[in-house]
Structure 1
């Protein structure tokens, strides 16, 4: 900001440096816990982490909306998958989805 004086600038500068140092500390400790296999996630702080909470709410809403669309259609939505509309392929896909290794039966493939 062009009209900010040195005192105001230094106040904001110190604030951002403190936030960055805290974030680095949190990231380092989280990585240590991940490496040790003892990481447990927790709730975000409602006052201090409004940005991540807002982003999380947007992602959660998008995932829920996507799931509802899939339920309405009765099939998974894969935007990047090519969809070939021929009766033969539709019959094959329907047949394959009902096999033991099809959708909903993935647990038998877990080793």
Structure 2
């Protein structure tokens, strides 16, 4: 296992050692969990399956459905990307709108692009 730890200039030795030890413990626990899950997969004890209907699946579904609902109501059906800065009115040029439509078409496989054009983009 390999990782990097960065230390703030003002961090004291005791504080750094405490956080570093905790970080090492969490990484080791994660590694042990992954190794155990892989061992169980290899032995046929554990199989992949559906998410828990209440604790996992419904939570994720609810978040996704609420997000899409906000996109449809508040954003004229366009995707909301919270981490991306929104262009100001002066940045919304015809060229930008054309590029957004083109990229959206690529993402969905639509936008007037036929199979031959899309196959050129395949890796």
Under a length normalisation based on structure 1, what TM-score does the superposition of the two structures give? 0.42
Under a length normalisation based on structure 2, what TM-score does the superposition of the two structures give? 0.39
